[in-house]
Homo-oligomer: A and B are copies of this chain.
Amino acid sequence: MILGKIVGTVVATRKDEKLVGLRFHLVQNLGLDGALKPGFVVAADSVGAGVGEVVLYASGSSARQTVQTDNRPVDATIMAIVDTLEVGGEICYRKDA
């Protein structure tokens, strides 16, 4: 999975019929230090995450292994909201810290 931060939202009314009901977030990649890095994806959401949250997203066919995304043309899905990130024995990110 890739570590990212939700930085925005995409609205699309004209879309494949299998996408109806899904929300799409703009997720920018994060480094191990918790800082934003270049690179982003548009991801569906299986956990009700919101703008500003640090999340994990799965890509490829794995992005379709949730109840919300099964058999849909979706190649990136947010499947966890990060509470803490520990690197080298130190907490480098904590939600609501």
- Interchain residue pairs with CB less than 8 A apart (28): A1-B24, A1-B43, A3-B10, A8-B87, A8-B92, A9-B85, A10-B85, A11-B83, A12-B56, A13-B83, A14-B80, A14-B83, A15-B56, A15-B81, A16-B66, A16-B79, A17-B67, A18-B66, A24-B80, A28-B32, A58-B73, A60-B62, A61-B62, A62-B63, A62-B75, A65-B71, A66-B73, A73-B79
CA distance A74 to B75 in the complex (A): 12
Complex contacts, A16 vs chain B, CB 8 Å: 46-47, 66, 79-80
Q: Are B11 and A84 in contact (CB under 8 A)?
A: yes
A24 to chain B, nearest CB (A): 7
Chain B residues with CB under 8 A of A89: 51
Q: How far is the CB of A91 from chain B (nearest CB, A)?
A: 10
Contacting pair A60 B75 (CB below 8 A): yes
Q: Please tell me if the beta carbons of B62 and A73 are within 8 angstroms of each other in the complex.
A: yes
CB neighbours of A46 from chain B (8 A)? 16, 73
